[in-house]
Amino acid sequence: MIKQTLSELINNHFDAVEAKDLDAVLDCYHIEAEFLDPHYPNIHMKGKDEIREGLTWGFKSIKKFSFTAENYFENENKTSAAVEMTTKLELSNGQKLSFTQVFIVETKQGKIYRCQAYETYGPHGMHNILLKITRIIKKLKQGSL
């Protein structure tokens, strides 16, 4: 077996997601892996069975995935990395989305042990409303509105 580098493992993972190749994606994960992403119904998936369930849902919901790495950082041991990605999605209903995400990837025994997605867009719900009101008030006080 040829050992792949951390960057190769991560590239293979995202290439497999883009191809919607569930088996290839799962092959990148350690048996005890964790996958955390707020875009999924189960935000914190533990183990390959839960990850399989989440990805199956995602592959049905998303017609097309596209990931472009913008920045990539590895730790000194080459066992963990942070990847800033431009993510483009086409949903099953045809809606297209484009946003930036950061993925933190930790490995164990050459496989992804933890993959966590962080989105760069702001808060939602009531917190978002309160922030918008606060920003409008600030602009009014500064006379820039």
Write out the two tokens for 131.
């922030």
Is the pTM of the predicted complex or chain greater than 0.75? yes
Instruction: Give, as one character, the DSSP assignment of residue 75.
Output: -
User: Is 85 part of any domain?
Assistant: yes
Query: How far apart are the C-alpha atoms of 35 and 115, rounded to whole Å?
Result: 5
**In terms of residue numbers, what domain contains 46?**
6-142
User: Is 1 part of any domain?
Assistant: no
Instruction: Give, as one character, the DSSP assignment of residue 38.
Output: T
* pLDDT over threshold 60, residue 1: no
* pLDDT class of 43 with cuts at 50, 70, 90: very high
CB 85 within 8 A of CB 68: yes
Using DSSP bridges, classify how beta strands 29-36 and 111-119 pair: parallel, antiparallel or unpaired: parallel
Segment 13-28 mean pLDDT: 98
CATH code, domain carrying 19 = 3.10.450.50
DSSP lists the bridge partners of residue 114 as 34, 106
* pLDDT over threshold 70, residue 122: no
Write out the two tokens for 81.
């990395």
- For residue 87, the model assigns a pLDDT of 95
Sheet holding 111-119, edge to edge: 44-46, 29-36, 111-119, 96-108, 80-91, 62-74
Name residue, tokens 């602009």: 139
Number of domains in the chain: 1
* pLDDT class of 145 with cuts at 50, 70, 90: low
